[in-house]
Structure 1
Amino acid sequence: MTPLNFLLVFVGGGIGSVLRYLVSITALRLYGPHFPLGTLAVNVIGCATMGAIAAFAIWRGPGGTSETIRIFFMTGILGGFTTFSAFALDTMVLWERGDVVLAGAYVLISVGVSLAVIAATMAGTRMLLVG
């Protein structure tokens, strides 16, 4: 990891976070708070972008995309924009290499554990704050 890589992730992450905020507030203003459309849009856009960059890197060969571009866009911008795209890419990598059961387990464990942890954390915090 070089100082340039840290800078690329830092700047890209800032850009991605601002883009996420803009998409979220735009969706909220246009469609209201009844459905998390902003989050859905960010996740879908992030997955489409991650898929395009990953496919370009894979099928264009070793020179398809530089490490600098991958770090800036995939880790930086998309990392700030949505981590769901990284989850989706990890799942597809497992699937593409033939580890279908492992891909399915990864999805179930990731979603199940994440939901269980947030439910437990919210319940515990509520008990501490409200009694």
Structure 2
Amino acid sequence: MADVTGPISTLANSSHEVPDGQTCDDHPDRPAVARIQGETDSFGCEMNDMCAECADKHRAYLRSPEAAEHRKGTCEWCKKPADDLRDRRDYEEGMSGRVYRVCGICVKKENDELAAEERARGDDHDDFDGDYDD
């Protein structure tokens, strides 16, 4: 683990810029070519610095049957079993609030609700495009 952050809005497995001169967490004699966000919660996250070999292994794991098993379980929002769980935040709790394991149906439902809210709001919620009198 190369770095621990404070509260952060991105989620686990997000890619970040590798600091100059950073070495691999597992192979300190090799330069890091990837910085991948690890375990994430409302307090922050771990950043994992990886050499090319470790980054390739990590990417292979994400496509593996073992990773697919990790995506199975009970959705924390609808409480139903799912095989497509992913990390998600409740936007009403803030961009660095608790991380939930949420199914695809709940993600789609929330995205649809947010899109409908945006459409209903129209173009009056910003101060661009000359919407306001000077």
Instruction: Tell me, yes or no, whether TM beats 0.5.
Output: no
- Give the number of the structure with larger relative contact order, counting CA–CA contacts within 8 Å between residues 6 or more apart: 1
Higher helix share: 1
TM-score after normalising by structure 1: 0.27
TM-score after normalising by structure 2: 0.27
Higher strand share: 2
